[in-house]
Chains A and B, each alone.
Chain A
Amino acid sequence: MNLFHYSFLINSYSKMVEVGRSLQEIITSTPGISSIFITDRDGVPIASSGTETRSRQALVQSYQMTMEPASKLDMGPQKYAFFYYDQRQVAVITVHPMVIFIVASPDTNSGVLMSMGERMEPLLQQLEKIIGDLP
């Protein structure tokens, strides 16, 4: 690895820290949201912020498992999915080529969570650029 690579990695790292900070800002400014994490379409984690939960990976895996059956429902490409539990709701927003997972309290307005996709668009573009630039 030469000097160019080092400076590049440091640069990407500081950009990722920035993305994490933006995610944290979204969490603190939206009541009810406890955690946001972003993966690529294969379920590989890209960025995350908020309360770290043990079941994060389990949720990503479950979602990966349901991609195929959901595509056979004959309703076209998936945009949003909501899963309601006693203590939480999990919103999954597909913004190609990424998937956003939002964990929130069960009484958080699902419409507000839906609008997160649009709100996070600039952030996703930034992420896509960082990932595209990686050697």
Chain B
Amino acid sequence: SIGTVMLRHRTLIEVLGQVNSAEVTGAMLFNREGVLLAYNGYGEGNAANVSAALISSIWEAFDKKGVAGGREDLKEVVIMCEDGVLGATKVANMLLALKATSAVQPGILRAKMHKLSEFLDEPLTQISKNI
């Protein structure tokens, strides 16, 4: 039933905020269609919505495009641009993305992303089962 598992939105936003540092400036959680569930550090306005939609379309393009047999699931993406770095990974049936300044060490960004996705995996899997 719906009543047994509830998502505490404020807590989720706080958890997402825990990865924020001088270099890691934002985190967000969205579904495969690019619909935002929660975000932290993306400021006001539409920036998080737009980013979620863009990242989900990039994910869609590369999922199932693994080389061995061509049917492998995509696990993680890191895109490094001149003015910033973006990482995305799967959590339950959703996507988690972190954005950082170009000063970030990609290894640190990935480690933070792995920790956060590990932490969120169990509760989010519970929720997705109950919806």
Contact = CB atoms under 8 A, between A and B. Distances in A.
Interface stretch (B1-9, B72-80, B119-127): B72-80
B67 interface: yes
Interface in A82-120: 82-88, 90, 103, 110-111
Given A69-B57, A110-B106, A76 B75 contact: no
Contact of B61 (A66, A73, A84, A86): A66
A73 B27 CA distance: 14
Mostly, the A contact residues are mixed
Contacts of B86: 73, 75
Contacts of B55: 69, 73
B80 A79 contact: yes
Interface string B44-81: 00010011001101100110011110101111111111
Question: What size tier do the contact residues of chain A reach?
Answer: 20 to 34
A80 B85 CA distance: 9
A87 B68 CA distance: 7
Contacts of A85: 66-68, 72-75
A73 B67 contact: no
Mostly, the B contact residues are mixed
A85 B64 CA distance: 9
Interface in B62-119: 62, 65-68, 70, 72-86, 99, 106-107
18 contacts: A34-B67, A55-B65, A62-B61, A62-B65, A65-B61, A66-B57, A73-B51, A73-B55, A73-B84, A74-B83, A75-B82, A75-B86, A80-B78, A82-B79, A84-B77, A86-B72, A88-B67, A110-B106
Interface of B: 47, 50-51, 54-55, 57-58, 61-62, 65-68, 70, 72-86, 99, 106-107
Interface of A: 34-35, 53-55, 58-59, 62-63, 65-66, 69-70, 72-88, 90, 103, 110-111
